Structure 1
Amino acid sequence: MTLGFVIGESKPTVVTGQTSRSLPIGEYVIINSKEGKIVGLVEKSVVSSAALGDVKNYDETLESIEVAALNKRDKSHTAMIRILGFLESLQKGKAILPAIPPTPGTEIVKATKDDLGQIFGPENEEWIKIGGLLRNPEIDSLINLNKIVSRHLGILAMTGMGKSNLVTLLAKQIAELDGTVIIFDYHNDYSGLDFPKMNVIDAKINPRLLEADTLSDVLEIREGADIQQRVLRLAFTPEVKESANFWEALDSQVQYIGANPDRKEDRHSADRVQDKIDDARHRSSEILDPDMSNPVALIKEGRLNILNVSEFTDRQANVALAYYLQELLADRKAAVNAKGGKTKSKRSYRFNTPIFVIIEEAHVFIPKNEDAKAKYWAAKIAREGRKFGLGLCIVSQRPRDIEANVLSQMGSLAVMKIVQEDDQRQIASAAESISREFIGQLTSLNIGDAVLVGQWVNLPAIVHIDEMKGKKIGSDQDAVGEWAVAKKFEEVGAKSMKDLTRKDF
């Protein structure tokens, strides 16, 4: 079915179409050029009226509406169409752009299911379905799992737009393929899921395994407290690390340093460090465990592992994430090098197959213009992880606050509704395949809609993500409902108390 024709100046990458109707953003079209069929994506759609283009007042507007209704040529429908490549090459998984732009007057037709089905639904085992094309819901949208594990993924959206749903969908499908997934669950959103092959872990930190400056973060010693940090560094000796009673040994060593008559100025700082140690022993005993084995040993291969870090402070969670990332990267390096015979090291490894790590609230752990231990290891995995089978997924509602060097290394992106212009600019910088015009449409997406770009899809696409059935995750609290239930309990309790009082008399 003919939709319109190419008009005006055309380029090998973009054309303008004059169409018979308004084309929705995200619709795919076929441009019947002389060189072959070309697939295009509508990125901008404009409707104009000759009669209503320059009205000056209300009465003139009413008159112009009547004139426009009588003139079938009054309305003009134009669309900016991004050229994605020749149809035949795209169906084979390759994007080849035309060397010569389509000639003005070239026919534009609607893309059919036969045209697009093979592009968006390759029949290979590494491709999994996550939804359907928003403008062509009869066409499934599949993504390439190998590409997100090797080239990483970013999931970016405002709160409540469906990030957690997409994370759950991906994690569940990877686990069903016997893959290993680890979600760092910052708000304890995922532990209530009821899926096979799930392993829920309350993350812990073994302080014996840390460096002194990292232990300082765990104990919440403030960054500017140089003397307290020096006291802790001197006290955190190899003998303390190996002591049977870790906290007692560390406390005694700090007390000993504070009692040094040659450094009386250390006494007060040592007392403050002892207070921090006491807090850690009693208030944080559930997350700081010097008697546990390596925390990484709790992660199970071939499972969806939920690491709950909701009980940690931000600094403690940062330390925990950094530790896990460091250990996972070292483990995968050891595994790959051992299998390839590239090392003489006898270091053992736990994981025989690739791992996909998902970091919720990534802006907290990978902040722009701030030093953070987790950011260092996340950046290192973003650079090196693909060689060792360690994939990274960063999830955030504030892309503007994520370190740009890390975000730019996410080879694929799922972008849902984003309103803030700073966030849109950050996304545009990270994803060259998204035009400014396309970025501007992110404000109009609904819950569950997403723009998919990068190596995990054959073409940029606007899709509607399948909704995961079962427990709602990352959802808003039903405050009104909970208040109503509480009120009913209060009324029942008051009535029961009144009845008991009557019986007593």
Structure 2
Amino acid sequence: MILGKVIGRSSTIQFKFLVEGNAKKFQYLQVLHEDNYVLAQIVEIERDIDRTVASCNILGYKDEQNILRPLRTAFEPGIEILNAEDDFIKKILDLEESKNSAYLGVLEGRDKLKVYLDLNKLLTKHVCILAKSGAGKSYTAGVLIEEILDRNIPILIIDPHGEYTSLKYPNAEDKENLVRFGIEAKNYIDQVQEYGLNAKHLKLSNQNLSPSELIHMLPSKLSSTQMGVLYSALNSLGKEINFDEIIQQLEMEEGNAKWTLINIIEYIKKLDIFSDYSTEMNELVKQNKVSIINLKGIPPEVQEVIVYKLTYDLFEARKKEEIPPFFLIVEEAHNFLPERSFGEAKSSKILRQVASEGRKFGLGMCIISQRPSRLDKSVISQASTQLISRITNPNDLKSLSSSLEGLTSETEREIKNIPVGTVMVVGLTDLPVFVDVRPRKTKHGGGAVNILDVEKVEEKEFIESKEDFEEKNNLLPLIKPKIDLNDLKVMHGSSKIKTELIPCSLLVIKDFRLLFDLTNGQIINNIEDASGEKLTAVAIDNLTSQQKNILKVAINLNEFKAADLLSESGAQFSEVYDITNILTGKGLFIKINDEYKLNDKIGWLSKLKELSFLGKIEFSDLSYDKILEKNYDIQKIKEYLSNFIDIDDEKECYLVKYSP
């Protein structure tokens, strides 16, 4: 369809035409020029009394090698301007679907022209999602997460507001739009693992912390005097950092500066986020899994510490190829990676390092923020793709203009008017592309050949490195005996040594761990021969919640008086007296004069700490003859034990057993 003809002065990058048909701002055009069709775009339309004139930018044409080229000569006046066909736009903008592309939505005003983003480029060269509050940042991020999960790529989300748990549930409210965009509702409940105050607890490693790292993580800034006292205390201790030992050592130091330090260390200890039994990095980053770190309800200064330590440990694990390539998403990134003029967050340095070096190690990053002016500008500029929705704050707009290439004054003005549901994609082509974002499947809670060749190699890096990792690293969570296979072969001559894997579950309690053999229900206390103690469960279904509470207190005491139960339980005297008599009558307590003790049939619960497992799970590959069959359900074991002890975490693993 002819829209008009070129008028006035034109250049190799811009021209104007007299509009004869219907034309809209940002409409795509095609113009025949020297035997090639050229793609152009309307950037402004002006109308006076007798005519309408459209100002246009030229994107270029594809040569015989399918490389986008700029014009060398300007359009002649009088050349016809046509409405661009969908296939032509798709060809010039490289919107073709491929194996590793992500379906973002449709080109604005072109419902049949789907827009696909190259995942290799997104994952290796980072992406920013920027918009004012309520303009659809998290929604767009959710679309990207769905596309990435569908390709089995591990994701870890830093989620300050708990917005991403809705990935567990299908989109049941937007059926008409789902049909329009050609997709189906879906849930990712089997792929989502949430960590947080009201979910699975995240435990950060306190192993091998250096004095400087510990000081960096303290939520308060120390004076030079306090710094000296803390260094003195830490240097008096060994390499292993233990908060109780630090406090004891500080108490021995001279001067009043130690008391503030003790309060700070006590505060960190009470947060209960550091542990000798930390959450494994292999647990957080798994193929076809998304780990959501829900920071809702956690003080901002502690959030910074968590993001710093977690990102640092993940980056180190990725460098050593202990975990597969993965995608890190940081919501409200201006809080964790602020522009330097707004101060430094605890997490700033490590996130900058990931932004600059992550692509070399297969760690992609998505930065999401509603305040671009408060976000580190170097990180915005390092991202190869920006997805921008409506922004109205003048400081934020100015920040974008200074950070991004290709933003014209026209597009900068247009950012203020982007409707909800539309995103401006910067980095897909030389000029921004406006895309109507597809509905979520889940619920919403340079031109030279050499440069292009290098870019293509880099873009393959993430997907290929992920696949290489999968081929090389068929890792199992294993607990191995101290005597290895070679030692056994020497001891037993050349006889065949059978390797069996015993399915186990490691339950993490506050200050100890229990290793359960799921073939026989034993708590393993000797990993050399996989032996342990078989414990008998006592029926407690007929106990009231108050009776269970008193029983739980009694288990922690083992031997006690009624007054002990009264002070520890917080219950009323008459209630404690009655329940003590009832539990004695049921044979759970044994009364000796004015004291009580647990009956042997339930007394084992007070001795669980004696069966604590002190080893560790190692992820490695292993040739084995057989995996034994599970006969016990760990969820039922947890459900029973939870009546008496607080279980923080559970880790599936295999105990390696060698048999001559």
TM-score tier by shorter-chain length is 0.7 to 0.9
State the match for 2:600 in structure 1.
none
CA shift for structure 1 position 290: 2.4
Task: Select which of 70, 79, 82 maps to 2:57.
Answer: 82
Deviation digits for residues 226-266 of structure 1, max 9, x if unmatched? 322332233234836636xx332111011111xx3xxxxxx
Task: Select which of 256, 259, 279 maps to 1:271.
Answer: 259
What code does the residue aligned with 2:278 have?
A: S
Deviation digits for residues 443-485 of structure 1, max 9, x if unmatched? 1111111111215x68631011112144322xxxxxxxxxxxx
Equivalents in 2 of 1:13, 1:178: separation in Å?
A: 42
CA shift for structure 1 position 22: 6.0
State the match for 2:175 in structure 1.
none
| Mapping for residues 377-456 of structure 1, pairs under 5 Å | 377-455=350-428
What code does the residue aligned with 2:425 have?
A: L
Equivalents in 2 of 1:350, 1:364: separation in Å?
A: 27
CA shift for structure 1 position 120: 5.0
Deviation digits for residues 114-136 of structure 1, max 9, x if unmatched? 22244453132111211001121
Structure 1 stretch displaced more, 212-221 or 11-20? 212-221
| Mapping for residues 356-367 of structure 1, pairs under 5 Å | 356-367=327-338
**Secondary structure in 2 matching 1:322:** helix
Structure 1 stretch displaced more, 163-172 or 370-379? 370-379
Distance 1:46 1:212, change over 3 A: farther
State the match for 2:268 in structure 1.
280
Distance 1:111 1:4, change over 3 A: same
Aligned 8 A contact 1:186 1:361 in 2: yes
CA shift for structure 1 position 410: 0.5
Alignment gaps of 5+ in structure 2: 169-187, 197-201, 446-660
CA shift for structure 1 position 317: 2.1
**Secondary structure in 2 matching 1:26:** coil
State the match for 1:124 in structure 2.
98
State the match for 1:111 in structure 2.
84
Distance 1:328 1:426, change over 3 A: same
Distance 1:358 1:94, change over 3 A: farther
Equivalents in 1 of 2:414, 2:367: separation in Å?
A: 22
Give the TM-score normalised by the residue count of structure 2: 0.59
State the match for 1:233 in structure 2.
231
CA shift for structure 1 position 39: 0.4
**Secondary structure in 2 matching 1:444:** coil
Does residue 298 (structure 1) correspond to residue 283 (structure 2)? The answer is yes
Task: Select which of 153, 169, 174 maps to 1:179.
Answer: 153
Distance 1:170 1:433, change over 3 A: same
Alignment gaps of 5+ in structure 1: 50-73, 261-266, 336-348, 474-505
State the match for 1:248 in structure 2.
244
**Secondary structure in 2 matching 1:379:** helix
Equivalents in 2 of 1:138, 1:92: separation in Å?
A: 27
Distance 1:179 1:247, change over 3 A: same
Equivalents in 2 of 1:415, 1:218: separation in Å?
A: 33
Count, aligned residues: 416
State the match for 2:192 in structure 1.
198
Equivalents in 1 of 2:66, 2:250: separation in Å?
A: 63
What code does the residue aligned with 2:256 have?
A: H
Distance 1:377 1:21, change over 3 A: farther
State the match for 1:27 in structure 2.
27
State the match for 1:499 in structure 2.
none
State the match for 1:45 in structure 2.
45
CA shift for structure 1 position 190: 1.1
Task: Select which of 303, 308, 311 maps to 2:294.
Answer: 308
Aligned 8 A contact 1:199 1:305 in 2: yes
Aligned 8 A contact 2:130 2:368 in 1: yes
Structure showing greater Rg: 2
Distance 1:290 1:404, change over 3 A: same
Equivalents in 1 of 2:94, 2:136: separation in Å?
A: 21
Deviation digits for residues 189-218 of structure 1, max 9, x if unmatched? 112421142222234433445443543454
Equivalents in 1 of 2:137, 2:267: separation in Å?
A: 36
Distance 1:225 1:40, change over 3 A: same
Distance 1:191 1:11, change over 3 A: same
Distance 1:21 1:429, change over 3 A: farther
Equivalents in 1 of 2:308, 2:269: separation in Å?
A: 22
Aligned 8 A contact 2:97 2:116 in 1: no
**Secondary structure in 2 matching 1:230:** helix
State the match for 1:476 in structure 2.
none
Aligned 8 A contact 2:160 2:294 in 1: yes
Does residue 18 (structure 1) correspond to residue 18 (structure 2)? The answer is yes
CA shift for structure 1 position 25: 2.6
CA shift for structure 1 position 295: 5.1
Identity of aligned residues (%): 25
Aligned 8 A contact 2:219 2:305 in 1: no
Equivalents in 2 of 1:131, 1:186: separation in Å?
A: 27
| Mapping for residues 52-67 of structure 1, pairs under 5 Å | none
Structure 1 stretch displaced more, 2-11 or 308-317? 308-317
Task: Select which of 311, 320, 333 maps to 2:319.
Answer: 333
Equivalents in 2 of 1:332, 1:371: separation in Å?
A: 25
What code does the residue aligned with 1:36 have?
A: N
What code does the residue aligned with 2:106 have?
A: G
Aligned 8 A contact 1:29 1:108 in 2: yes
Equivalents in 2 of 1:274, 1:333: separation in Å?
A: 35
State the match for 1:319 in structure 2.
305
CA shift for structure 1 position 315: 2.8
Runs of 4+ in 1 over 6 A off after TM superposition: none
Equivalents in 2 of 1:379, 1:219: separation in Å?
A: 20
CA shift for structure 1 position 18: 1.9
**Secondary structure in 1 matching 2:69:** coil
Equivalents in 2 of 1:7, 1:378: separation in Å?
A: 51
What code does the residue aligned with 1:147 have?
A: K
Distance 1:142 1:34, change over 3 A: same
Equivalents in 1 of 2:351, 2:6: separation in Å?
A: 46
**Secondary structure in 2 matching 1:321:** helix
Deviation digits for residues 378-410 of structure 1, max 9, x if unmatched? 222222222221111111011111111111101
Structure 1 stretch displaced more, 291-300 or 177-186? 291-300
Equivalents in 1 of 2:439, 2:407: separation in Å?
A: 25
Distance 1:458 1:332, change over 3 A: farther
Equivalents in 2 of 1:301, 1:93: separation in Å?
A: 38
